[in-house]
Amino acid sequence: MIADINPAAAKTVAVELQERGLSALAVTVDVSDEGQIVSMVEAAVSEFGGLDLLHNNAALLGPEVISRDLAIVDLDAELFAQVLRVNVTGYLLSAKHAIPHMLERGGGVIINTSSAAGVLAELIRPMYGTSKAAIIGLTRNIATQYGRQGIRSVAIAPGIILTPAVAATVPAKMQSALLRHSLVPRPGQPEDIAYTVAFLMSDEAAFITGVTIPVDGGLTVHFPSYAEELDAQSGTTPEFLVSAGDASPITPGTSHIHEGLQPKEM
Ligand SMILES: NC(=O)c1ccc[n+]([C@@H]2O[C@H](COP(=O)([O-])OP(=O)(O)OC[C@H]3O[C@@H](n4cnc5c(N)ncnc54)[C@H](O)[C@@H]3O)[C@@H](O)[C@H]2O)c1
């Protein structure tokens, strides 16, 4: 079941799935309204006979919100409350109403979409980043309370994924600044997220719970000076990382295994 506040978007996805021979239902839901969440869960149970998997993925990302999510000294408390209602409370309440159905069936999986911005801070979007950090805590708590009853919960932390929302709200300059720090030299695609979620929901991921999985092309694993060091070396590996007796530098984006690769004495 695809549930979204935007009925046309939910329907488009459901139709795509139906065209691939899968059964899919689109429903309209505003996750800031608990009554609508109850109806969404009931619709899933009555259509499919039960509920095993939940992916909380909604977020307030419209320009009307992001353009007001700048300096902390200027933030509006009501707007922050609205961001939290969708980005955090919506996830909590969806889990609240899904869990009893999962328990009836002996367990289930709840995936929550956080963000690299929930793991690290940016200079902008403090409300968004704070909401995404809260999701990491919510995920740990769901996993801890219900793990022994067969429910796993995992958060994912995407880096920059080229969705229409990103194209519309993240300035091109910021997109390229983030890409300079990506170890996989391309923007993320929605499929990168979908494949990860499909795996985490599967039985093959049965031993993974409570954690946050980065899906960010390596954006968050290195020192902040990464891009500057590459620039200084014109895109090649810094000279001090070339192994003794091997003058060939390692080019980022290609696969190298250098036996005995040692930092040169400096
Ligand atoms: N695209 C990225 O680079 C990126 C990076 C990190 C995290 N994320 C996260 O991934 C998720 C999907 O983002 P996206 O880029 O596809 O953006 P998107 O705007 O296309 O997706 C968000 C969806 O949430 C829906 N939504 C908004 N308010 C809602 C409400 N009250 N009730 C129900 N649905 C509501 C929107 O209609 C939209 O379909 C979000 O949680 C976002 O924070 C995205």
Task: Kindly report, residue by residue over 7-59, the tens digit of the pLDDT.
Answer: 999 999 999 999 999 999 999 999 999 999 999 999 999 999 999 999 999 99
Question: Is residue 227 within 8 Å of residue 176, measured between CB atoms?
Answer: no
Q: pLDDT confidence of 164, banded at 50, 70, 90?
A: confident
Measured between alpha carbons, how far is 195 from 202 in angstroms, rounded to an integer?
Answer: 11
Q: What is the pLDDT of residues 204-222, one digit of tens each?
A: 999 999 999 999 999 999 9
In testing the pocket of ligand 1, which one of 1, 2, 4, 132 has its CB within 8 Å of the most ligand atoms? 4
How many angstroms separate the alpha carbon of residue 62 from the centre of ligand 1?
9
Q: pLDDT confidence of 247, banded at 50, 70, 90?
A: very low
How many angstroms separate the alpha carbon of residue 9 from the centre of ligand 1?
12
Encoded tokens for 80: 């922050």
Per-residue pLDDT at 191 exceeds 50: yes
For 191, how many CA atoms within 13 A lie in the half-sphere containing its CB?
0
How many angstroms separate the alpha carbon of residue 221 from the centre of ligand 1?
24
What does the pLDDT average to over 237-244?
A: 59
Per-residue pLDDT at 252 exceeds 80: no
Handedness of CA 94, 100, 104, 107 (dihedral sign): positive
pLDDT at position 263 is 42
Encoded tokens for 182: 């990506």
Measured between alpha carbons, how far is 155 from 112 in angstroms, rounded to an integer?
Answer: 5
pLDDT at position 255 is 37
Measured between alpha carbons, how far is 234 from 113 in angstroms, rounded to an integer?
Answer: 36
> Taking Cα atoms as reference points, which of 118, 126, 130, 125 lies closest to residue 158?
118
- Give the chain's mean pLDDT: 90
Residue spans per domain, the chain: 50-215, 223-266
| Atom 42 in ligand 1: residue holding the nearest Cα | 59
Catalytically annotated residues: 128
| Atom 31 in ligand 1: residue holding the nearest Cα | 30
Q: Which single residue is written with the structure tokens 């695609």?
A: 189
Per-residue pLDDT at 245 exceeds 80: no
Question: Is residue 159 within 8 Å of residue 132, measured between CB atoms?
Answer: no
Ligand 1 pocket, Cβ-based, cut-off 6 angstroms: 4-6, 9, 29-32, 57-61, 86, 113, 115, 158, 160-161, 163, 165-166
pLDDT at position 131 is 99
Give the DSSP letter of residue 58: -
| Backbone φ, ψ for residue 211 (5° rounding) | -105, 175
Q: Which amino acid belongs to residue 16? A: E
What does the pLDDT average to over 256-261?
A: 35
Q: Which amino acid belongs to residue 224? A: P
Q: Is the entire prediction scored with pTM above 0.95?
A: no
Q: Which CATH homologous superfamily contains domain 50-215?
A: NAD(P)-binding Rossmann-like Domain (3.40.50.720)
